Amino acid sequence: MRQLAKTVMFFLLALVLAAAAAGGGGKKEENKAAGGGKKINVKFSHVVADQTPKGQAALKLKELLEKSGQFEVQVYPSSQLYGDKEELEALRANNVQLIAPSVTKLVGFVPAFQLVDMPFLFKSDQAAYNFYDGPKGQELMNTLKPHGMLGLGWWPNGSKHFTNSKRPLKTPADFKGLKFRTQSGGVLDEQFKALGAGSQTIAFGEVYQALNSKAVDGQENTFNNIDTQKYEEVQKYMTVSGHGRLDYVLITNTKFWDSLTPDQQKIFMDAVKEASLYERKLADDLNAKSFEKLKASGKMEIYTLTDADREAFVKAMQPVYDKYANVIGKDYIEAARNSK
């Protein structure tokens, strides 16, 4: 009997040693950083320039994650690695571990993200931030989980404004017959349709060329994107309309996330929280600076909607609500509208 117990003990010990020699086995193979070994590689792909709120926050997140000694982060800006569509597929395939798309581009997974495109919905930047930080914003972010994606934080950019190469846009009637680039989704198509204009979805990395070649007449974006993409070189008119928003969700994939230890997940989330605060402040600053720069360049004629102009647009764009309120979810729309 004692001999049998000894033999069993021997085998158990041998098994434990073999497992240890194999590096702890399976799942934790990727996470040797915890034991001081190889660092965890993280690729962050995005489509905008470095000098944008998203570009700067991505670099900040890299700095914070690398400071922990556990992660090594490569940031690929300006669609260098993947464009709009590809970056979503690449994330889900775990070819990259972080992206921060404009939420409009998530429409294929969760149509409710088009909330940000609903015309004149949020009262202010702060109202949008409060919505994102509140229960409905968190609920919306969590809808990505069944698609193998995990929303880590909202990264707002700001309000969108129209630019075009044909004429000043002061009233809804001025849009008639023009063609605008959209990011994606039915809400934006419907918005332009309501104004009597056409629309075409074009990847962000191809917009400058599409405007330059006159494949489309105009587009809508934040001051900072207009400035950093140099759209003023190919657009003559800008209307400061603030008619919709352009905001991001920082997303990882569940495969990568589940491969991290609880400690690593905590380090990651702490870095994300700090980078997200940084992003939000930067968005305000960079958009304000870009607006000043665009004005100073004198390249575009700039018109700011008056309250009366705005009312005319709100009325003209009502069909967007008639058609999409149910698609988005009236609860989301109400929460966004009532946010202060």
Based on CB atoms, which residue is closest to ligand LMR, 41 or 80? 80
CA distances from 197 to 115, 186, 200 (A): 21, 14, 10
Minimal distance, residue 140 CB to ligand LMR, in Å: 17
Residues 37-66 that bind ligand LMR (CB under 6 A): 47-48
The DSSP annotation for 148-183 comes to TEEEEEEEEEEEEEEEESSS---SGGGGTT-EEEES
The DSSP annotation for 59-125 comes to HHHHHHHHHTTSEEEEEE-TTSS--HHHHHHHHHTTS-SEE--BGGGGTTT-GGGGGGGSTT-SSSH
Site size toward ligand LMR (CB under 6 A) is 9
Tokens found for residue 207: 């917009």
Residue whose beta carbon is closest to ligand LMR: 102
159 binds ligand LMR (CB under 6 A): no
Residues 81-110 that bind ligand LMR (CB under 6 A): 102
Minimal distance, residue 14 CB to ligand LMR, in Å: 54
199 binds ligand LMR (CB under 6 A): no
Minimal distance, residue 312 CB to ligand LMR, in Å: 25
Q: How far is CA 323 from the centre of its chain?
A: 25
**For residues 187 and 117, what is the distance between their CA atoms, to the nearest angstrom?**
7
Based on CB atoms, which residue is closest to ligand LMR, 222 or 259? 222
Based on CB atoms, which residue is closest to ligand LMR, 199 or 225? 225
Minimal distance, residue 29 CB to ligand LMR, in Å: 34
Amino acid at 20: A
Positions that interact with ligand LMR (CB under 6 A): 47-48, 102, 157, 183, 204, 221, 225, 246
